[in-house]
Amino acid sequence: MKLKDLARQIGIPLGSLQNFIYDFNIDLGFCIDENFDLTDRFKNFAFDNIEFLKKYALDHSKNKTLADIAATIGVEEQEVLNFFVANGIPEETAKQVQTNLSSYLIHQYIGGSYPFVQEAFPETNNYSEKALVGYSDLYFYLADMLDPIINIEQYQNWGISKPAGMLLYGPPGSGKIFWAKKIANMIGYEFVHVYKDYLAGNFKTNSDSFSRFLTQKMEQPKTMLFIDAFDDLFSNVSEHPFFPKTIELIHTILRHAQKDDRKELLIVGSAETLSLLNDDILAPGRFDLQIPIFPPNEDERAQLLVYHLSSHLVESSPLLQILKSHNALTKEFWQPVAAHMKLFSNTMLIDFTQALKKRLYALHRKDETKNIQLTDKLLLAAFNEAKSKLNQEYLKRCAIFIAEAKQNIGQDFPHRILELEADLEFYQAKKIPVNKIGFKQTKSSNTIEEPQKTNENNTNGSDANEPDIDDNYLMV
């Protein structure tokens, strides 16, 4: 049984069921397998909780005022207002808001809990073995967009043709190559990465040999050609050093794929912005399927930190022992750190974890007794190294992406757009004096607290004697 079959059987829209999984942060592994078939666990949960799922679907289907949301989740209207204000919406504007955000998602943000969901799908701490960390909403959105390729009934019943081309767009480091590979895996196509350097002739190749390579690949069944840097290749404004014959070949392949729906060829391009692409690329029937690739949200950042720190480690790994001793294999430990990483790309998160690993390794070489602390000083050093890419140019790219995504698919990802706008506003706001803070560790989690006075001569590594972190370093 597929998810759409379950939705039909219990009488709610497929989109509502997909959003329920995202809003309640349910791991996809609990819901579907590699063949998109439902797990027994999720089927049983759905049939046991049909009435709640119908209430959720009804709420999800309509725009709501603050009063509507407050009535649905049983809280004061002021609490709902505070949520929108905290996310960067002026109070007077927020009072008039009508939103398609789920009331139940807002309830969770302001402290509401749903034990029957959490008991059925407990959060896993084994992030290292996850095939996909977060992004269940984008995964389902992609599955819907790719259905004409996966499901022949779309063409037979509705006459919906397969897309000839697809564009993935997002800020630098957001994960466009990862998602291109994920798309190839979802539709069962061979992933062929056509690097920009080949198109420019930077490697030992020529236009004729590369054209032959592309021609051969397009003749193979179930092939996905992924071409990065489309905004360089097909820009309206910039000169480029690419082979003219190669560029023309790509246009020829597209025209051919447009005319032959039976050909099992998909061209996927990546771009940081859509506005710079020329009209030929965005013409109907070409790359009119455009997929936004978002930077991770705060919860996903915390999960991804655990994933990148713990992936591929053997049980005897010294790093794994250090993380375990600090209870740092849970997303709760990293949530305060992730909260400071506003607009961090996936690449920046990897940079942070790599910088932290190197520093922990250096300490381990000096002290193999494993008496190593995850101190403020270590976290700050790794943070500063990772945030070097978060410059004005990157923020400009993020602003353009938010505007384009909001215009194209804002109604499909209102929660992500809202958080991205608030994060961008954080960096655009004027600097104001702030109190110093530190990444202070408690027994339950790595929480942010006001620092205590420190004794600078003490070097025993305890939390109370670690350097404070000035919040001004978070501003660009």
Tens of pLDDT, residue by residue over 98-152, are 998 899 999 999 999 999 999 999 876 676 667 778 898 999 999 888 888 877 7
Show the 3-state SS of the chain: CEHHHHHHHHCCCHHHHHHHHHHCCCCHHHCECCCCEECHHHHHHHHHCHHHHHHHHHHHCCCECHHHHHHHHCCCHHHHHHHHHHCCCCHHHHHCCCECCCHHHHHHHCCCCCHHHHHHCCCCCCHHHCCCCCCHHHHHHHHHHCHHHHCCHHHHHHCCCCCCEEEEECCCCCCHHHHHHHHHHHHCCEEEEECHHHHHCCCCCCHHHHHHHHHHHHHCCCEEEEECCHHHHCECCCCCCCCHHHHHHHHHHHHHHHHCCCCCEEEEEEECCCCCECCCCCCCCCCCEEEECCCCCHHHHHHHHHHHHHCCCCCCCHHHHHHHHCCCCCHHHHHHHHHHCCCCCHHHHHHHHHHHHHHHHHHHHHCCCCCCCCCHHHHHHHHHHHHHHCCHHHHHHHHHHHHHHHHHHCCCCHHHHHHHHHHHHHHHCCCCCCCCEEEEECCCCEEEECCCCCCCCCCCCCHHHCCCECHHHHCC
Question: What is the token pair recorded at 455?
Answer: 């004794």
Share of the chain above pLDDT 70, in %: 78
Question: What is the token pair recorded at 56?
Answer: 């959720």
Return the pLDDT at 458.
39
Task: Indicate the pairing of strand 289-292 with strand 438-441.
Answer: unpaired
The arithmetic mean of pLDDT across residues 424-428, rounded, is 89
The arithmetic mean of pLDDT across residues 314-342, rounded, is 92
Position 198 confidence tier, pLDDT thresholds 50, 70, 90: low
Task: Indicate the Cα dihedral angle 329, 335, 341, 347, nearest 10°.
Answer: 30
Which range among 116-120, 206-210, 274-278 has the greatest average pLDDT? 116-120
The arithmetic mean of pLDDT across residues 350-379, rounded, is 88
Return the pLDDT at 195.
75
Q: Using CA atoms, how far apart are residues 3 and 22, in angstroms rounded to an integer? A: 14
At 20-59, the pLDDT tens digits run: 998 998 888 888 877 778 999 999 999 999 999 999 999 9
At 240-273, the pLDDT tens digits run: 555 566 566 666 656 655 555 556 778 898 999 8
Over 60: is that where the pLDDT of 441 sits?
no
Return the pLDDT at 453.
37
Inter-CA distances, 57 with 41, 53, 138, 183, Å: 20, 6, 19, 28
pTM of the model: 0.76
Question: What is the token pair recorded at 227?
Answer: 């071409």
Q: Which domains does the chain have, with CATH numbers?
A: 3-129 (no CATH), 161-292 (3.40.50.300), 298-390+433-474 (no CATH), 392-428 (no CATH)
Closest CA to 124 of 113, 134, 139: 134
Q: Using CA atoms, how far apart are residues 253 and 218, in angstroms rounded to an integer? A: 8
Closest CA to 264 of 143, 180, 152, 181: 152
Position 64 confidence tier, pLDDT thresholds 50, 70, 90: very high
Residue 169 · residue 163 · CB < 8 Å = no
Provide the β-strand partners of residue 448. Answer: 439
Q: Using CA atoms, how far apart are residues 246 and 156, in angstroms rounded to an integer? A: 35
CB neighbour class for 12 (10 Å; exposed up to 12, middle 13-18, buried from 19): buried
Question: What is the token pair recorded at 168?
Answer: 């993935």
Sorted by sequence, the CB contacts under 8 Å of residue 338 that are 6+ apart come out as 298, 299, 301, 302, 305, 331
Task: Indicate the pairing of strand 446-449 with strand 438-441.
Answer: antiparallel
Q: How high does pLDDT run on average in the chain? A: 80
Q: Using CA atoms, how far apart are residues 133 and 347, in angstroms rounded to an integer? A: 14
